[in-house]
Amino acid sequence: MIEVLPIRLLTDQDALLFGPLNVSLGKLGRSGFPVAPGIVLTPPHLKLKTTLENFNFGSKEVFQQSLTLVKKEINKIPVPEILTREVGKHKQFLLNGEKIKGVKAVWSALLNFWLDQIKARLWNNGFFTGITDNLDPKVVIFIKDIKSHGIAYEDSFQDDVMVSTKSGKLHPTDLKRIVELIKLANKKLFIPNEYEWMVDKGVKLVGIKPYTFSPVTMNPSTVTLSETKGIVPDQNDKSKSAVKVFFDLSLGLTIEKEVDGVYIASEKIFDLNKPNDSFENLVFKVVESAMTFPNSPVFLKLADKSEGMGRVRGSLRLLHQKSLFDPMVDALDFARHKKGLTNIHIVIPFVRGVNELLQVKRELSTKKLMRKASLEYWMEVAVPENVINMEEYLMAGIDGVVLNLDELIAHLNGFDPIEADLAFYKNEVEGLIKFLEDGIRLLHKSKIPFIAYGSLNLYPKVLEFLVEKGVYGVVAEKYEAHSTKDLLYQVERRIVLRNS
């Protein structure tokens, strides 16, 4: 059973069921603000719960096939009569920023949204009692002839309203109206929010999200009233940087559409003390990432189990410990040969010499994981020796390089990164930058791409150096990904202006 209410009827008593932000949208509508007509729905909790109980996810096995079956069962849930009744004669809808035609299509999109939420919980925490509890209620907006759509918020840092257009083009008159509405809405609700708007026979508010302050400006499709001066830029242009951003999905899950690639450090997943469960988790993570982002590369770094500086680790340990190396090979074999996922590539970790690289390549080849166009070998550069002897590694045959900046600076500056008292040495990046220049120049000459990994990525000096030297991509934690894209754009722009 679901609960449905028109947006304008939501009051404070409904906050627990329909969400406080949706209630705020209802308050604005009753106060005379142009809030679009629509409804708010709660998920079919009981139906979802009983459906999932028929499947066993307890051991976090490779359950992609089970999830497919779950999706089929959930999609069989019929359109509730109450939804059909509340929708009435409306035929077109706005849901999650997408235009949808027909009640059946809306219901299917809603079920897929709630299933994605369940999938995220399943991935992060495994199956647990109450996994279907407290799923987000959703707003469905009735539309007729939508001209443009986007978000806006009042940026106290710039003392202006930022308006970002997601689709369509925005007329200066509508822009002015949006700016006025956002300022008035914040005063009415007493707290700043991010507002979703559309132009459909006038400007209308269609959603409210919490506003998170960021000193990084929005993309070029974002304009302020003071910037327009009567000229409307192309609202479909989005800020894009030449440098790609790879999501580090080693831990957790992100529901994200626009990704340049995925990076998975398997040592964060595979546990020698729990080989079966952690192996299943690793396979699931690799398969799900490759299937979710079929047009993006997925880099799987073989496990680098480290017990401190100077210990047996990385490629050397993989070569001498079958219980660590074989599960990596089995995971790759399953994903590539049984699932047919050819966007997965291998990162060979912590190499101390060319012979180690050649031995790992040989072992992979014997397991039918030969280097080819659809299976690239990338090498992690984590020790200064790798940079000094870069030419020998390139001659041995690699397709790309992953610069582990945290490891490199630890070895260069002579400190153990595990020791918190010595962490201040991490800020001394000038030596690292000078040391990397010759190696990067050789990579460019050989047309070998490189990506950067580690917390040093976002240090201003390091990031500017990497961008200026033509880094192919940077690996970012999922919570840093969006800000990293904007930051890269700003750095690239600054470099271009400086060199022009």
- Tens digits of pLDDT across the chain (500 residues): 688 889 888 888 888 888 888 899 999 998 889 999 999 988 887 777 777 666 555 444 444 555 666 677 777 788 888 888 888 888 898 888 888 899 889 888 888 888 877 777 766 666 666 677 778 889 999 998 888 999 988 876 556 788 888 888 888 888 888 988 988 988 888 778 889 999 988 999 999 988 754 444 444 445 544 444 433 444 444 456 788 999 998 876 655 556 789 999 999 999 999 989 899 989 988 998 898 888 899 999 999 988 655 678 899 999 999 999 999 999 999 999 999 999 999 999 999 999 999 999 999 999 999 998 889 999 999 999 999 999 999 999 999 999 999 999 988 888 766 665 555 666 788 899 999 999 999 999 999 999 999 888 888 889 999 999 999 999 988 767 767 888 888 888 888 777 76
Question: Is the Cα dihedral 109, 113, 114, 118 positive or negative?
Answer: positive
Coil, helix or strand for 10? coil
State which fold the 244-499 domain adopts: TIM Barrel (3.20.20)
Q: Which residues, at least 6 apart from 244, have a Cβ–Cβ distance to it below 8 Å?
A: 260, 261, 451, 472, 473, 474
Predicted TM-score of the model (pTM) = 0.54
H or E element: which one contains 160? strand 160-168
Class of domain 1-143: alpha beta
- Tokens standing for residue 500: 């022009």
Predicted local confidence at residue 218, as pLDDT: 45
CB 191 within 8 A of CB 20: no
Residue type (1 letter), 422: L
Q: Would you call 408 exposed, middle or buried from its count of C-beta atoms within 10 A (0-12, 13-18, 19+)?
A: buried
Indicate the Cα dihedral angle 335, 339, 342, 348, nearest 10°: 10
Distance between CA 174 and CA 219 in Å, rounded? 19
Distance between CA 218 and CA 215 in Å, rounded? 9
Predicted local confidence at residue 417, as pLDDT: 62
Predicted local confidence at residue 485, as pLDDT: 81
- Integer angstrom CA distances of residue 290 from 248, 294, 339: 13, 6, 10
User: Angle at CA 179, nearest 5°, toward 195 and 202?
Assistant: 80
Residue whose pair of structure tokens reads 């299943």 in the numeric block: 280
Distance between CA 113 and CA 107 in Å, rounded? 10
- Integer angstrom CA distances of residue 297 from 291, 300, 313, 437, 481: 11, 10, 26, 26, 16
Predicted local confidence at residue 157, as pLDDT: 56
Q: Which of 449, 31, 396, 56 is nearest to 244 (CA)?
A: 449
- Tokens standing for residue 367: 């397991």
Same fold, 1-143 and 244-499: no
First-residue to last-residue Cα distance in the chain: 62
At residue 234, φ and ψ (nearest 5 deg) are: -70, 110
Distance between CA 277 and CA 415 in Å, rounded? 35
CB burial of 20-36 (b: ≥16 within 10 Å; e: otherwise) equals ebbbbbbbbbeeeeebb
Q: Which of 71, 79, 95 is nearest to 2 (CA)?
A: 79
Q: Are strands 193-199 and 148-155 parallel, antiparallel or unpaired?
A: antiparallel
Show me where the domains of the chain are located: 1-143, 146-212, 244-499
